[in-house]
Amino acid sequence: MRAKLALEDGTVFNGTSFGAEGERFGEVVFNTSMSGYQEILTDPSYRGQIVTMTYPLIGNYGVNGEDIEARGPQAEGFVVREASRVRSNFRSTEDLATYLKKAGVVGIEGVDTRLVTLRLRQHGALRGVISTTDLDDANLVKKAKESPGMAGRDLVKEVTPKQSYAWTERTEGPLAPAALPAAAPDLYRVAALDYGVKYSSLRHLTRLGCKLTVLPATATGKQVLDLKPDGVFLSNGPGDPSALDYAASCVRDLAGKVPIFGICLGHQIVAHAMGGKTFKLKFGHHGGNHPVKDLKTGKVEITAQNHGFAVDPDSLGKTGLEVTHINLNDQTVEGMAHKSLPLCCVQYHPEAGPGPHDSLYLFRKFIQMMADRAK
């Protein structure tokens, strides 16, 4: 079945439908990871977005029940050059097209995904629409232009749980990274604020001995502290961080009272909580090959990234925060720590689902922060 992808700049791509049928809107972004499409699809940070994979051959190893970052796919739409007809992997349980269809994600293949990427690089993030129902170019471009953008949008409310719950699953098996040595269970009580958390973060923390309570993003500082946590984990999540006053105010209340470790959206919320600002990047960072330099050690980590906003380093003057990590590609802020309080955060994804494991040490560092605090 034919399908089309239209961008607000007027470019229309013809392709073939794979996955669900229908019409979906979203901000079109590209991801440069060559593997890990299942994790990408299930990453709640992609809520409200149509994901284009720059690697042209997608679906080769199918999907399985393990490589998921949420219960099911989160992206609005999925754009690839060629969706594999065959899945070949010992862990595979289903093919990608069926998986998308079941989850209602509209997929399109046969698209010149390099051109999509070039357009996004030229114009910055663009709104777009994928459709199998309306194949009129002019109509589609109009719809793309009229669709809501990302700025100012609170997508966290769409993905955060209604109620808090306990998390127990942990990273296990032959694929568990060596950088995460299994610890005895329940050594630390950790409250995880779920702005759209990826399972990998929760699984890794559990493996390192954390007893996790996952809280809705709307939780207040008091609600968190009532749990008497040894540490607080601020998760990743979708959308514009400046729209999340409630989350920032919660973090403000927690700062200094308990060790805090934030990643991605969590990192941006920390900036806002402490009085800093964020801005929208031209086309964001989405991929698994971004070099990040630890300014203290000089070491470079290859990191997984997925963010459309970044912290403005010039806004940190009175926040007490200092920049600890920078991106070597564009020098943007990738990590911060508070000068006196037990609070650190990174813009990238140390949990690496998908992506390189270079930054898993940060979870151990968080454990260390809690251990130090306990002394």
Give the shortest CB-174-to-another protein separation in angstroms: 7
User: Which 3 state secondary structure label does DSSP give 343?
Assistant: strand
- Neighbouring C-alpha atoms within 13 Å toward the C-beta of 84: 18
With binding defined as CB under 8 A, does residue 30 bind another protein? yes
Bridge partners (DSSP) listed for residue 77: 50, 106
The helix (H) or strand (E) run that includes residue 132 is none
User: Which 3 state secondary structure label does DSSP give 369?
Assistant: helix
Give the shortest CB-56-to-another protein separation in angstroms: 5
Cβ-based neighbours of 114, under 8 Å, separated by 6 or more:
54
* Residue with Cβ nearer another protein (98 or 220): 98
Choose the binding region for another protein from 85-93, 216-224, 312-320, 343-351 (rule: CB under 8 A). 85-93
Q: Indicate the residue type of 92.
A: S
Catalytic annotation present for 351:
yes
318 alpha carbon, distance to own chain's centre = 28
- Asked if residues 42 and 66 have their Cβ atoms less than 8 Å apart, the reply is no
d(CA 293, CA 69) in angstroms, rounded, equals 26
With binding defined as CB under 8 A, does residue 350 bind another protein? no
Binding string to another protein for residues 276 to 315, with x set by CB under 8 A, is what?
A: -----------xxxxx-x----xxx-x-------------
Catalytic annotation present for 264:
yes
d(CA 215, CA 52) in angstroms, rounded, equals 31
d(CA 64, CA 166) in angstroms, rounded, equals 24
Instruction: Exactly one of 264, 285, 286, 345 is catalytic; name it.
Output: 264
Please pick, from the candidates 1, 65, 88, 314, the single residue that binds another protein as defined by CB under 8 A.
88
With binding defined as CB under 8 A, does residue 84 bind another protein? yes
Please pick, from the candidates 163, 166, 174, 318, the single residue that binds another protein as defined by CB under 8 A.
174
Between residue 92 and residue 121, which ones bind another protein under the rule CB under 8 A?
A: 112-115, 117-118, 121
Please pick, from the candidates 175, 318, 339, 375, the single residue that binds another protein as defined by CB under 8 A.
175
Determine the Cα angle at 159 with ends 259 and 235, to 5°: 20
Task: Find the largest Cα–Cα distance for the chain.
Answer: 66
Give the shortest CB-160-to-another protein separation in angstroms: 25
* Residue with Cβ nearer another protein (162 or 174): 174
Any idea which residues carry the catalytic annotation? 264, 349, 351
Residues that bind another protein (CB under 8 A): 13, 30, 32-36, 38-39, 54-57, 60-61, 64, 66-67, 81-82, 84-91, 112-115, 117-118, 121, 174-175, 177-179, 287-291, 293, 298-300, 302, 328-329, 352-357
